[in-house]
Amino acid sequence: MRTRISLFFGIFAVMALSNAIVPVLPSYAGTSAIQAAIYSAYFLGAFVSTLPAGILSDRYGRVPVIRIGLAITVASGLLLSVLVSPIPVIVTRIIEGVGAGFFVAAAMSYVNSLSDHERMSGYLMASLNAGLVIGLVFAGWLATQIPNPASGILVFSVLVIIPAAASFFINETGAVTQKGDLKTIFYLVQEFRWLWYSSVILIGITGVVTSLYPKYSGYSPDSVGNWISLMSIATIAGVLVASRLSLPPVPTIRWSALLIVIAVLVLYYSPLGFVMLGICAGVVMIAQMTFLAQARDHQGVAMGLFSTTSYLGMTTLPFIAGMVADTSGFFYAFCATALFALTVFLTIGRCNCQLHRTL
């Protein structure tokens, strides 16, 4: 029970806190550029910290890194609840992202090292997406009930204290290793290069549609928020189902990529594409984590690379698609996004299914 509180409730609360600022961004800055900087600062912190966190997890154990990540998250969240100036908020959001990067990489490594890692991965990713939805919806609702716009941030910061305290009562899952950090990184990058590519593209596409759809659709902000939340809910369904089916990873990623091509094109005409895309994204994430479970003795590095490539996709693909939309129109932006997914369908089969040597 203590392990589940630390991992599943922990990732729920961390993700909810990360999204709690989104509905109240106008309260922190008057320009779109500053608001975007506040939002993206979190991803910058997470991007630069996940791989180091994975290395530290292998070297010194997953549990200490989980504790550090949760402690940083609590401190940064409480600080955000009292800050009002844009620059300090941006800096604190970067620190919050670092805390999330530490926790997510170590928590995913912990789960993927368990014997029932597929089922547990489903619970972890479902909790992650549930946190994203609840953080967005509850913080937005709370801001309409309480004059203080940071009320949602404060609530979820306090909630993170619960898994942070529980983390002091969980045990390590396996031995740590003091060798081969750079060797392991280079080997895993090369051996699983097409899997990393699939992570950049397929996870990044969820960020593309999230960034494009508000302006493209012309819907009211509450309607857009509901549809985007529905994608996360569909992702929860996808990860829970996929985690119980023991699907072969490579064919699952390949055919999910093809379905994502269709989902992106459907989304151009109907927001129902969010549902299809969310389900496919959930299936893909479980397949990718199952694939990486082969690196049994180096789950920290593997999960660090997985998180890093996911954040890289969320950072770069929306920017590329936005540039295409600005220069050529939304139709070509959606088509380019679909083509990105098609490249995964064509390349993921090149990925080896077994590690050929001991690291």
pLDDT surpasses 60 at 176? no
pLDDT surpasses 90 at 12? yes
Residue 165 CB partners (closer than 8 Å, separation 6+)? none
Residue 305 located in a structural domain: yes
- The model's pLDDT over 234-255, given as tens digits with 9 standing for 90+, comes to 999 998 898 888 888 899 999 9
- Band (4; pLDDT cuts 50, 70, 90): confident
Question: Residue 276: its pLDDT value, please?
Answer: 94
More confident residue, 353 or 96: 96
pLDDT surpasses 50 at 357? no
Domain of residue 132 covers: 1-165
Q: Map residue 218 onto helix, strand or coil.
A: coil
Question: Residue 57: its pLDDT value, please?
Answer: 85
Residue 171 located in a structural domain: no
One domain, residues 160 and 287? no
Average pLDDT taken over every residue of the chain: 85
Residue 172 located in a structural domain: no
Residue 314 located in a structural domain: yes
One domain, residues 233 and 159? no
Query: Which one of 165, 197, 225 terminates a domain?
Result: 165
Residue type, 178: Q
- The model's pLDDT over 178-215, given as tens digits with 9 standing for 90+, comes to 544 677 778 888 888 899 999 999 998 988 887 788 77
- Band (174; pLDDT cuts 50, 70, 90): low
What is the number of helices (H) and of strands (E) in the chain? 15, 0
One domain, residues 151 and 204? no
Residue 336 located in a structural domain: yes
Question: Residue 359: its pLDDT value, please?
Answer: 47
pLDDT surpasses 50 at 124? yes
Question: Residue 321: its pLDDT value, please?
Answer: 86
In the structure encoding, which two tokens stand for residue 179, read together?
A: 């060798």
One domain, residues 313 and 290? yes
pLDDT surpasses 70 at 257? yes
DSSP-derived letter for residue 245 is T
Question: Residue 73: its pLDDT value, please?
Answer: 96
- Per-range mean pLDDT, top range of 3-12, 28-37, 107-116, 312-321: 3-12
pLDDT surpasses 90 at 306? no
- Give the total number of structural domains in the chain: 2
Query: Which one of 134, 165, 196 terminates a domain?
Result: 165
Identify the sign of the CA torsion 200, 36, 91, 226: negative
One domain, residues 160 and 181? no
Average pLDDT value for residue range 109-115: 79
One domain, residues 125 and 214? no
- Band (265; pLDDT cuts 50, 70, 90): very high
Asked whether the beta carbons of 214 and 318 are under 8 A apart, the reply is no
Residue 344 located in a structural domain: yes
One domain, residues 68 and 145? yes
Q: How far apart are CA 102 and CA 91, in angstroms?
A: 17
Which of 85-93's residues contact partners 24+ apart within 8 Å by CB, and which partners? 86/28, 86/29, 86/34, 86/37, 86/38, 89/28, 89/38, 90/37, 90/38, 90/41, 91/41, 93/21, 93/38, 93/39, 93/41, 93/42, 93/45
Average pLDDT value for residue range 299-322: 82
- Band (84; pLDDT cuts 50, 70, 90): confident
Query: Which one of 132, 165, 198 terminates a domain?
Result: 165
One domain, residues 145 and 192? no
Q: What region, left, alpha or beta, does residue 234 occupy, with left being phi > 0 and alpha being psi -120 to 50 degrees? A: alpha
Q: In the chain, pLDDT over 90 holds for what percent of residues?
A: 36
One domain, residues 190 and 144? no
- The model's pLDDT over 30-74, given as tens digits with 9 standing for 90+, comes to 676 677 678 778 888 988 998 898 888 888 888 999 999 999 999
CATH no. for residue 88?
1.20.1250.20
- Band (125; pLDDT cuts 50, 70, 90): confident
- The model's pLDDT over 328-343, given as tens digits with 9 standing for 90+, comes to 888 999 999 999 999 9
Q: In the chain, pLDDT over 70 holds for what percent of residues?
A: 92
One domain, residues 199 and 347? yes
One domain, residues 124 and 192? no
Residue 170 located in a structural domain: no
Residue 189 located in a structural domain: yes
Residue 8 CB partners (closer than 8 Å, separation 6+)? 123, 124, 127
Average pLDDT value for residue range 78-100: 92
pTM (predicted TM-score): 0.78
Residue 32 CB partners (closer than 8 Å, separation 6+)? none
One domain, residues 328 and 255? yes
DSSP string, 179-198: S-HHHHHHHHHHHTHHHHHH
Question: Residue 173: its pLDDT value, please?
Answer: 65
